[in-house]
Amino acid sequence: MKKRIAIFASGSGSNAQKIMEYFKKSNDAEVAIVLTNNPDAYVLQRADNFEIPSHIFDKKEFRDTDDVVQLLKNLQIDLIVLAGFLWLVPENLLKAFPNKIINIHPSLLPKYGGKGMYGDKVHLAVLANKELESGITIHFVNEHFDDGEVIHQSRFKIEAGDDLEMIKFKGQQLEHLHFPKVIEGLIKKMKTI
């Protein structure tokens, strides 16, 4: 039986799209649902393009009820993937899916992580500190922002003259290349347990 993935995203959803593409023909796993806290998120259109159901929730539903947890349990979700999802995951969701929630972050954690560090803010901090390299981190999610156990890191060199757009591009290339493969690796481990 295929393992079932839920993707949480808050924005455009380019990583979500790569994951949906990657698992479209997989025998091991499928994306069962896309969830967002943003009713205008382009990720909803991407999910629709793949005929994957979606669910929009607000802060109250996410933090103060078990509705989202129950929805994921009803769908028999095996792995939750945060792909550009900006809210802290509440305790009830962490407890319901222990070591089954992963996130991708656009820096080499622990550098440039934590509350408020996402997207361009991360890359601008990397530039401001004249770092010679940056990269991506895929990690398990816990009760703190960007703090869970690291699963995978990939890095790229920052060349003289690289600007915000170039650093974003280099990071996104790594995200699109590695995120689906890391998810697949986790799924295969689950299947052997």
Enumerate the active-site residues: 105
79-82 and 3-8 as β-strands: parallel, antiparallel, unpaired?
parallel
Q: Taking Cα atoms as reference points, which of 180, 141, 182 lies closest to residue 16?
A: 180
For the chain, the residue count is: 193
Q: Which residue has the tokens 């839920």?
A: 6
Burial of 91 (0-12, 13-18, 19+ CB in 10 A): exposed
Distance CA 87, CA 143 (A): 11
Rg from Cα positions in the chain: 16
